[in-house]
Amino acid sequence: MKLAIFCTGGTKLGFGHFFRSRTFAKAAPDGTQVLLLPVVEEQDKHFFREIADATFLCSDEEGALAAIDRFSPDVVVFDTVYCSDPFFTAARKRSRLIVSISPVFNHMERVDYLFTRNFHALQMGSVGIYKGLEFAVFNEHCDVIPDDVYAHHILRPYLTIGVAMGGGDAPNKTLRVLQAISRVDVPCTFWVLLGEGYRHSYQDLVDTIRRDSNHEIILAKTNRSMWNVLSNCTIAILAGGLTTIEAIHAGLPSLNIFEKPDHVVAMGREVFDLGIAEDMGLFGEGALQQLADRVRYLSANRDVLLSMRKNSKGKVDQLGPARIYKRIAQIVREGYV
């Protein structure tokens, strides 16, 4: 079976699709030929070095389509929020099967199958949907935080809080989150993770904490080592998406603040209904205040964090890619679309 994966991302769009597609491509089983087709800007090309032999870097859809023509895939997988109508139509004509592994896609009703972590994804026309956390695809470098490590951190006098607003964070949500939680009147240590696409002032982040000597801030520019850093934390403040799924796998409770309603829908209510993460609402002053209030509460009620961690156990594993490949291979083999 030959499978082409088209994805987009970057500083403005975010890096979630890049990370998921790269992980998915690397997980291809024996007998499956994979070509990863990221539309990528020059400064982000290094994301694909470790899988360079299976990657064709594209500057636009035209380049991706030319690569699809040369590769002649059986399946085209989309991991993007948007592609043009002509590109989608052309990809449809050149493959037997069209699949999406992105929970949001502007041509979703035209794909053959959707694989999504969102258990509550609604039916769309004739699209075949495989849904639930068992189909989650995320960073293979994310490991479970051992019980003794987490117990050690949660017994410390100061709550250790990870802040990760995404690899690019174009609107600088990191700064606004830090400004909000710095007003919490109990001392905390903040591990602030800044992706390689972060282009804002580090000094502004430091100054936010320096104005309040109760807190300590540690800035870390991370990519592959992100979970080495977050394993030092007892809770994470996240923007939803793949990092929240990774946190569930790692056993790290999270508070999630969303930029757009679409991001809430893509996340799915299951992770909140199961008590393994919390939804702080849409980004704004009200949500930021709620976030600060919740941090204050959890600092005094750490049994809640232990309960969230307990609820997360066994909910997410790293076999999502294998399950998706198995289903796709079965569909191709049996010849139904």
Tell me the DSSP string of 170-184.
Answer: TT-HHHHHHHHHTT-
pLDDT at 268 over 70: yes
Give me the sign of the Cα torsion angle 75, 79, 81, 82.
negative
pLDDT at 165 over 60: yes
125, 201: one domain = no
pLDDT at 238 over 90: yes
172, 133: one domain = no
pLDDT at 223 over 70: no
- DSSP tag of 13: T
User: Going along 195-264, which residue ranges are E strands?
Assistant: 216-221, 235-238, 254-258
Q: What total number of domains does the chain contain?
A: 2
Q: Is-contact 36 27, C-beta < 8 A?
A: no
C-alpha distance across the termini of the chain, in Å: 15
Stretch 321-335: mean pLDDT, rounded?
A: 94
Q: Which helix (H) or strand (E) holds 114?
A: strand 113-116
305, 325: one domain = no
SS3 189: strand
205, 105: one domain = no
The residue among 200, 246, 235, 199 whose CA lies nearest residue 307 is: 235
Question: Which domain CATH number covers 163?
Answer: 3.40.50.2000
SS3 335: coil
58, 162: one domain = no
- Predicted confidence band at 170 (pLDDT cuts at 50, 70, 90)? low
Report the alpha-carbon distance of residue 262 to residue 155 in Å, rounded.
Answer: 37
What's the pLDDT at 113?
97
29, 96: one domain = yes
Alpha helix locations (H) across 52-114?
61-71, 85-93
Question: Which tokens sit at 11?
Answer: 């500083």
Q: What is the pTM of this model?
A: 0.91
265, 322: one domain = no
Q: Which residues make beta-bridge pairs with 236? A: 162, 254
pLDDT at 8 over 60: yes
Q: Each residue of 148-164: pLDDT tens digit?
A: 999 999 999 999 999 99
Question: Which domain CATH number covers 102?
Answer: 3.40.50.11380
171, 112: one domain = no
182, 289: one domain = yes
Question: Which tokens sit at 198?
Answer: 């972060």
Q: Each residue of 39-75: pLDDT tens digit?
A: 998 888 888 998 999 999 999 999 999 999 999 999 9
Q: Is-contact 184 296, C-beta < 8 A?
A: yes
pLDDT > 90 in the chain, percent: 69
For residue 273, how many other CB atoms are within 10 A of its CB?
A: 12
DSSP 227-283: HHHHTT-SEEEE-STHHHHHHHHHT--EEEEESSHHHHHHH-SHHHHTTSSEEEEES
197, 277: one domain = yes
SS3 111: coil
Q: Is-contact 83 106, C-beta < 8 A?
A: yes
Stretch 184-199: mean pLDDT, rounded?
A: 85
Report the alpha-carbon distance of residue 130 to residue 254 in Å, rounded.
Answer: 26
Q: Is-contact 190 34, C-beta < 8 A?
A: no
| Angle, CA of 4, 77 and 269, to the nearest 5° | 150
155, 282: one domain = yes
112, 227: one domain = no
- Predicted confidence band at 166 (pLDDT cuts at 50, 70, 90)? confident
What's the pLDDT at 282?
95
Mean pLDDT of the chain: 91
Stretch 272-294: mean pLDDT, rounded?
A: 95
Question: Which tokens sit at 60?
Answer: 């636009």
Q: Is-contact 309 253, C-beta < 8 A?
A: yes
Name the residue range of residue 126's domain: 2-139+318-334
Report the alpha-carbon distance of residue 194 to residue 231 in Å, rounded.
Answer: 16
Give me the sign of the Cα torsion angle 64, 65, 68, 69.
negative
The residue among 49, 48, 23, 27 whose CA lies nearest residue 38 is: 48
